[in-house]
Amino acid sequence: MTSGKTEQLKKVLKPIHLWAIAVSLVISGEYFGWNLGWGVSGTIGFLIATIVITVMYITFIFSYTELTTSIPHAGGAFAYAYRALGPFGGLLAGYATLIDFLFATPAIAFALGAYLHFLDPDIPVLYSALFFNIVFIVINILGVKESATFSLIITILAVAELLLFLGIVSPHFKTDNFLSHPMPFGWTGIFAALPYAVWFYLAIEGVAMVAEEVKDPKRNIPKGYISGLATLIFLALGVMIFTGGITDWRKLSGLDYPLPEAISIVLGKTSSFTKIFASIGLFGLIASFHGTILASSRQVFAMARSGYLPRGLSKVNHKFKTPHWAIISGGLISFIALYTGTTGQIVVISVMGAVFMYMMSMISLFILRNKEPNLERPFAAPFYPVFPAIALLISAVTLITMIWYNFNLSLIFFAGLALVIIVFVLMGKHKVKLVEEFMISPIIE
C-alpha cells in the first residue's frame, strides 16, 4: 500500500487469456492422477464415472458462470456464498476453495518430480517438486498479465502435445486391451472412481479467481469458461480411451507418469522420441502448476481482504500489482503437503475441497435467485433450475462416496473445517458484517 490508498488488481485479461487459464489450471489432470481411477473401477467402470462427472461439470460451469459474471470478485465461491448465506456460508465455501487449490498445487508438483525422475532416475522427486514451487512463486509475483501470457504459450504447447500423443498411440489402440477386466469391482467401483474422474476437470472454476483482473468480465468470462471446458472434455475422453487400449491398463493404473509410459510401450523405452515426449510433457504439468498457484493466491488474497485470514496476506505489491504475501503463503502450504503426503492422498483431499465448494456454489445460486431477483445477471444459467440441481446432486453423491472410501482423509478435511469454524467464532468474525464493494454491487474499475 502507498499513501493510504489501497492497491487494486489490474484489469488486463482477455478471452484468450481466460481460455489459457481455464485449460492450464486443469490440463495436468489429463497427464496423471486420473489413471488411479482404473485401479478402483477398471476401464469401463472409469469411463462411466467420467461421463457422469463430465455431465456434472457441464451443468456446474454453465451455472457457476452466472455467479462469476454477476459477482466478479477474486474470492469466487467465497464471495457468492457470503452474499447468499452470510459469514458462515462464506467461511465454508472459502475453506473448501482453499483446500481445492492449495492441495492441487503439491499434487502437480509431485507429478512434475515424477516426470523428471522418469527422464533421469538420479533426479529425486521431492527436491525437484520443491524447486518448481520456488520458481513459480517468483513468476506469479512478477505480474498477472505476464503470468497469463506465460500460461497462454505453455498451454498451447501442452494441448499440442496431447494431440500429438493421441496421434501416436491411436494406431496402436486395441479394443481387446480396453475391454480386458472392464469392471473388476462391479458397479461399486464406479463410485470409488468418481474423485479420480473429477481430476480430469478439477480447478477450471479457478477462472473466477481472476474475475477482478478481466476486461469486460460480463462478456469475456463466459467465453473463457465454455471454450476451456469444451477443450478439456475432448482431451479427457481421448486420452483416457486411447491410453487404455495400448496395453494391459493395470500396468499404468498406479503411475504418476502414465502417458510417457504409454509412449514407451508404443515406441520402445530406448527411443529418443520417448524421452522427448516426456520432456514436452512437463509443459502440461507446468501449465497447471502455474495456474493453481495463481488461483489459490487470489483466494487467499480475497479472504484476507475480508478479514477471514490475516490482513497482511491481502497486501498488493506496489510495483507488480500482485498479492505477493498470498502467493508466498500458498507456497508454504505446498511445501508442508509435499513432505507429509502421497500423490493419491493429496489428490483426494483436493477433490474433496472442490466438490464441497461446488455444492456451496449451487446452493448459493438457488438462494440468490430468490433473495436477489433483480441482481444483474449478464449470463443466466441455462435450463434453470435443472442444470444447477444436477450439478448439486452429482457433487453431493461424489462427496458422500469419497467419505465412504476415504474415511481417514475425510476426517482430516472435516477436522480442519471444524477448527476453522471454532477460531472464526472465538474471534467474533461471525458477528462482523463485511462492507466490501461486492456486497453492494459488482466491482468496477
* Averages of pLDDT over each 10 residues, the chain, 445 residues: 48 79 84 89 95 96 89 81 91 90 85 82 84 81 65 83 90 92 91 92 79 74 86 94 91 84 84 77 79 80 79 76 80 81 82 95 96 89 94 97 92 92 79 52 34
Confidence (pLDDT) at 440? 38
Residue 278: all three cell numbers together:
516426456
Confidence (pLDDT) at 73? 75
Confidence (pLDDT) at 10? 61
Confidence (pLDDT) at 56? 97
Q: State if pTM tops 0.75.
A: yes
Angle in degrees, CA 92, 358, 367, rounded to 5: 75
Confidence (pLDDT) at 74? 65
Would you list the DSSP string of 267-321? H-TT-HHHHHHHHHHHHHHHHHHHHHHHHHHHHHHHHHHTTSS-GGGG---TTT-
Confidence (pLDDT) at 386? 97
Confidence (pLDDT) at 438? 45
The highest-level CATH class for domain 15-439 is mainly alpha
Q: Which residues contact 411 (CB under 8 A, 6 or more apart)?
A: none
Confidence (pLDDT) at 433? 64
Confidence (pLDDT) at 1? 35
**Domain extents in the chain:** 15-439
Confidence (pLDDT) at 26? 87
